[in-house]
Every structure is written in structure tokens, then in C-alpha cells.
Amino acid sequence: MMAAGVYWCMVLLALPGPALEGGDSSMGSAPRWSPRAWELELSFHDPQRIVVHHPGDREPTTYWYLLYRVTNRTDRDVDFHPTFELVTDSMHSSIGGERISTTVFEAIRARHHAQYPFLVQPSRVSGKLLQGDDNGISSTAIFRQFDPTSNRFAIYVGGLSGEVTRIPNPAFEAAEPETEANPPFFFLRKTLAIRYTLPGDETSRGVARPTRVGREWVMR
């Protein structure tokens, strides 16, 4: 297991934030690019597994998925382009929806049809999110199975806020051209980090349920 400081090194600037719904959304004294940035509300179920047997495969494949609903209670319609990334304590990263067949989504939709009869396919979520509860969107972020030796992971959800912070690049070479490899600044976006532990050892972890240990806003 890696030390906690190593595990969370991908978070460039963590800031104390409110609970997911309600509370003060102030981000303290950090500089802001958008002083009146919008912020969407996210409710979610903790990650679950699903096993899908794809046609032609000899063995079934295990996936993780996060069911969620996003609602726009701001004073404006918002361009919503969510991102989901699962990062383990071994620094393995899995992008939600990457190389995921629609067969997996259909299996999830069938499992939760009674509770979410209008579950939206992840590829169709991005776009203008209108104001009000009636215009909220329910969907799911799907990840491939990760390293079974990992017993901690976090899911980073981007696209929930328009707040962006610009910080200087300490390694910037002023004498060299400004390029993607040599940027003068980094732009960090307000991102929701949801952290979990997975109890047990490698033999029992395959059926263990994740335990949520925290959620907070970070600049990433």
C-alpha cells in the first residue's frame, strides 16, 4: 500500500468544501477566473459492480459503475460536459466510459429500470443543462475493473462547476517558446473528489462493497 501522501499526489490543490448538497460554496481566498462561477448539484449512489458476458468472450468481464443525477439550480442554463476518473492507491487511472460497450450500459439500465426508468446513456449526457429539478439528468459513469491489490480509490467528477484557478508553472522556461510542454500557467478546475476504501484482502475484495470515507472539492 502506498503512503497517503503519494496516493493523493494527483490532487494539485485540495480545498475544504461543503457537503455535496447545500452549504457554503466559497472556495476561500484562492484566485478565481470566474468570480460568479456556476455550480451544479450532484446526487449519487456509491459504486457497484456488474458482470457482463460479451458475445464471443469466453469469460465474463467485471465493471464498476456510479449512478448519479445532476441538477441545475443556478440562475442560468449551463453547458454540462462531465468527466469521471477513478484513481486507485496504486495510481492506476480509469476514465469513465472509455472503451466501454453499450452492452454494459444496457445491463445497468435493465438492473435499475424500476428506480431510473429514464436513465440517459453516458454518451448523450453532454449538452445544455436547463434550470430546474424537472430538467435534471440521471445517468451512470462506467469503469473497467481495476487492480485487485488496491484497497483505496477515488472518483473525480469534473464539469460540475465553472470555477477555474490559474497558477504559475514553477518549471516554466521563459527563454523557451510557450508550448504544451512548457506552459507559463496551469489551469485547475473545481472538481468533486469522492474517496473510498475497499475492505478485505485480494481474495475477498472481489465481492466487497466500497466504503465511502470522504468527499470534498479540489482544484485539479
Q: Is residue 14 part of a domain?
A: no
DSSP assignment of 92-117: -EEETTTT--HHHHHHHHHHTTTT-T
Task: Indicate whether 190 pLDDT > 60.
Answer: yes
User: pLDDT (tens digit, 9 = 90+) per residue, 77-107?
Assistant: 999 999 999 999 988 999 999 989 999 999 9
Total number of domains constituting the chain: 1
* Cα–Cα distance for residue pair 132/76, rounded to 1 Å: 10
Task: Indicate whether 18 pLDDT > 90.
Answer: no
Q: Is residue 6 part of a domain?
A: no
- pLDDT confidence bin for 172, thresholds 50/70/90: confident
Above pLDDT 90, what percent of the chain? 60
C-alpha triplet 184, 190, 194: angle, nearest 5° = 130
Give residues with Cβ within 8 angstroms of 65, minimum separation 6: 47, 48, 50, 104, 108, 140, 141, 142, 143
The phi, psi pair for 68, rounded to 5°, reads -150, 165
| Residue 8, pLDDT score | 34
| Residue 208, pLDDT score | 86
Q: Is residue 30 part of a domain?
A: no
Full residue range of the structural domain in which residue 143 is found: 37-219
Q: Is residue 22 part of a domain?
A: no
Task: Indicate whether 33 pLDDT > 50.
Answer: no
Q: Is residue 7 part of a domain?
A: no
Q: Is residue 114 part of a domain?
A: yes
Q: Is the pTM of this model over 0.95?
A: no
Pairing of strands 132-144, 61-72: antiparallel
Q: Is residue 182 part of a domain?
A: yes
Q: Is residue 160 part of a domain?
A: yes
